[in-house]
Structure 1
């Protein structure tokens, strides 16, 4: 990555006197590789193990928290496998996982 701050005063303004953002001068970020990182895979595996344990001991609110997290983490698969409908399905999954999580919090306090 290059030095982010401007070295010269005249680089702060374009030819019309409008301040230039550093984003114009910075290099483009490298694209994120598709798939899950190691930490995400570990979190998915841990959530699945906790889900199985909470299913055995019948803790409803933690079951919903784990299901909510697993639904949220499956969004990249929707983008990958559903083609043009993938972004819409990923947004639906994000909203549904948030609703399930809020329902789990509500169940925990009632």
Structure 2
């Protein structure tokens, strides 16, 4: 796929490469932002999901350090400006499965 111009087509190989990187733990993986239309909305939405997961991994690391190394069992995870079940946090998900 050429670069330097705006397109309404999401390149499948770029999508796959980005998804594989994300699956393998590279939470900084992002799709290019040079798409418009539906392809642009897909890229923007996936990039938002990647950012949210990057924040979640960072927050889990912080909580792990605070609880596991420092013994601060009163620490809670927070994802900031998340919505839906993401905003409720991990404890809400655990409670809802009981």
- Shorter-chain TM-score: what band? 0.3 to 0.5
Q: What is the TM-score normalised by the length of structure 2?
A: 0.34
Whose helix fraction is larger, Structure 1's or Structure 2's? 1
Select the structure of larger CA radius of gyration.
1
